[in-house]
Homo-oligomer: A and B are copies of this chain.
Amino acid sequence: MDSLTSQKCVACKADAPKVTADELVELIKEIPDWKPITEESMLRLRRVFEFQDYSSAVQFTNKVADLAEQEDHHPAILLEWGKVEVTWWTHKILGLHMNDFIAAAKTDLIFNQ
């Protein structure tokens, strides 16, 4: 995962390149717990993280929110009892940017710490 987690999200413009299907196939190998899903016609990366109690889920939510501010890239974080579902995508390009893979890999790092 070093290759993704050592990178930082870059400012993303509307004409920035979407990740191609070939790139997606390669990149997803580095974050195998994430699923590419399509919602509202936009490709996104989603992973559900499970927790034994609510406070651990809340703490994880806050750490991912801190990451979002550091990277200036903000996911959807769905907090419920015992689980947190994180979804990364890039609204500006209506799909997946390299930033989303970097952010997903860093989310895994937070979970595994």
Q: How many residues on the A side are at the interface (Cβ–Cβ under 8 A)?
A: 16
Q: Nearest-CB distance from A28 to chain B (Å)?
A: 23
- Asked whether any CB of chain B lies closer than 8 Å to the CB of A93, the reply is no
Report the nearest B residue to A57, measured CB to CB.
B65
A80 contacts partner chain B, Cβ-Cβ < 8 Å:
yes
Evaluate contact between A69 and B55: CB separation under 8 angstroms: yes
Contact present for A65 and B58 (CB under 8 Å): yes
Q: Given A62-B62, A65-B54 in contact, is the A74-B81 Cβ separation under 8 Å?
A: yes
> Which residues of B lie under 8 Å from residue A78 when comparing CB positions?
76-79
Mask for A85-111, Cβ within 8 A of B = 1, else 0? 000000000000000000000000000
Residue A5 is within 8 A (CB to CB) of chain B in the complex: no
Which B residues lie within 8 Å of A9 (CB)? Answer: none
Additional pairs, 5, CB under 8 Å, beyond known A54-B69, A58-B62, A78-B79: A55-B69, A68-B81, A76-B79, A76-B80, A78-B78
